[in-house]
């Protein structure tokens, strides 16, 4: 909807500018020239609609298709409530309760076919030693081996002790051919561009699925999971992908 509004505004502005230029450079200022300028401006607006409207409609259609595909999967698995269906169709995202976070996270891994880029900022003790984490790694490993999915994970840490506690999880990830790096919060503070980009994020624990889905985990002050959110938005996906690339470049590759 926002894209359509901006496009319409741009079309009108372009028409006004073209019409004014015709009037300005004609060298005449009578009624006929003024009318010709208006007609030229209107024709410009119509041409922009004809040339670019299919693109905007196609983009909106693709986003709707992605949502419908997800809904079809969830309905068949009975993982989404009626209120969640409404949220996805109306807003393009859905909030997941803390009790269902791991269930949805695993399901999205199964449905991933091209890219899984994740930043793990949740308290390591809450995640890395769980059976769900091990199961997730097994699914990722299968995706890498069978479908050549690009799987990257960044362990975002606060202290050296957390790094030590996460070493075993990193080792297992590496054994599963998952690309792993570690990054300390203080490293981001010394990276001006990265610091500026992450300052606007609602959470530092996020995952990028393919090219159209973003998974966010809302954490409390102790970095325990409060709830999750799924967003179906290609533009948002690419914005997070750019931030992930900056974090990946600043992070330290895993070494045994």
Mean pLDDT of the chain: 78
How many H-runs (helices) and E-runs (strands) does the chain carry?
A: 10, 8
Question: What's the pLDDT tens digit per position in 92-128?
Answer: 678 889 988 988 898 889 889 999 999 999 998 888 8
User: Which stretches of the chain score pLDDT less than 50?
Assistant: 7, 19, 22, 31, 33-36, 39, 72, 75-76, 78-79
Structural domain boundaries in the chain: 2-66, 82-253
Q: What is the pLDDT of residue 35?
A: 46
Kindly list the strands in the beta sheet with 93-97, ordered across the sheet, starting from the edge strand earlier in the chain.
93-97, 225-232, 213-219, 206-209, 115-120, 150-157, 179-184, 252-253
Q: What is the pLDDT of residue 134?
A: 86
User: What is the spatial distance between Cα 212 and Cα 41, in angstroms, rounded to a whole number?
Assistant: 37
Q: What is the pLDDT of residue 75?
A: 45
Q: What is the pLDDT of residue 198?
A: 95
- Which of these, 165, 158, 171, 115, lies nearest to 140 by C-alpha position? 115
pTM of the model: 0.67
Asked whether the beta carbons of 92 and 67 are under 8 A apart, the reply is yes
Question: What's the pLDDT tens digit per position in 13-43?
Answer: 555 565 455 455 555 555 454 444 554 555 5
**CATH code for 82-253?**
3.30.870.10
């Amino acid at each position: 909807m926002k894209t359509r509004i901006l496009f319409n505004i741009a079309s009108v502005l372009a028409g006004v500018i073209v019409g004014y230029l015709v009037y300005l450079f004609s060298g005449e200022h009578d009624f006929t020239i003024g009318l010709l300028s208006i007609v030229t401006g209107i024709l410009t607006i119509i041409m922009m609609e004809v040339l670019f409207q299919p693109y905007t409609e196609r983009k909106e259609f693709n986003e709707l298709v992605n949502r419908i595909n997800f809904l079809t999967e969830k309905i068949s698995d009975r993982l989404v409530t009626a209120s969640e269906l409404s949220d996805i169709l109306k807003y393009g995202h859905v909030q997941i309760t803390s009790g269902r976070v791991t269930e949805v996270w695993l399901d999205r891994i199964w449905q991933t076919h091209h890219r899984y880029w994740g930043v793990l900022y949740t308290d390591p003790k809450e995640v890395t030693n769980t059976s769900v984490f091990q199961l997730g790694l097994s699914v990722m490993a299968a995706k890498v081996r069978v479908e050549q999915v690009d799987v990257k994970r960044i362990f975002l840490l606060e202290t050296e002790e957390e790094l030590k506690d996460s070493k075993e999880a990193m080792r297992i990830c590496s054994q599963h051919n998952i690309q792993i790096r570690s990054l300390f919060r203080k490293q981001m503070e010394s990276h001006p561009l990265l610091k500026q980009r992450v300052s606007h994020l609602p959470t530092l624990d996020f995952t990028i699925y393919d090219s159209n889905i973003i998974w966010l985990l809302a954490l409390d002050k102790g970095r325990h999971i409060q709830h999750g959110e799924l967003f179906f938005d290609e533009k948002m996906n690419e914005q997070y992908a750019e931030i992930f690339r900056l974090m990946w470049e600043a992070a330290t590759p895993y070494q045994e």
